Amino acid sequence: RHHLDVESLIGTLVNTLVIRTDLSGGPEFAELLQRVRNVLLDAYAHQDLPFEKLVNEVVAKRDLSYTPLVQVLFNMVNTPFAHEYMADLPISLVQF
């Protein structure tokens, strides 16, 4: 919990960070991970800006038929890596 005023709340709090990934130049996977890492570090530095405020500042007219700013959401749960398979797909940990 990043703010003292929500420390005593019970439940899941979501910190939505909007990131833009640069895919130009056809980067290899490791380079893409490095790019995403750099953007995420910058986004975390500005995480105190509420998502709703960002949307209100950037989106001129809201359209409820789609999500503003973001077409893909990724949910990161920071827990230990415990499984080698998900359904029938093998998965492995990638350090970056």
**pLDDT average per 10 residues of sequence, the chain (96 residues):** 75 78 92 92 85 82 78 72 72 73
Q: Where are the beta strands (DSSP E) in 1-96?
A: 85-86, 89-90
Give residue 25's pLDDT.
95
Nearest-5° angle of CA 40, CA 44, CA 50? 120
Residues 6+ apart with CB under 8 A from 40: 17, 19
Give residue 51's pLDDT.
79
- What pTM was computed for the model? 0.55
Give residue 24's pLDDT.
94
Give residue 2's pLDDT.
67
d(Cα 85, Cα 1) in Å, to the nearest integer? Answer: 31
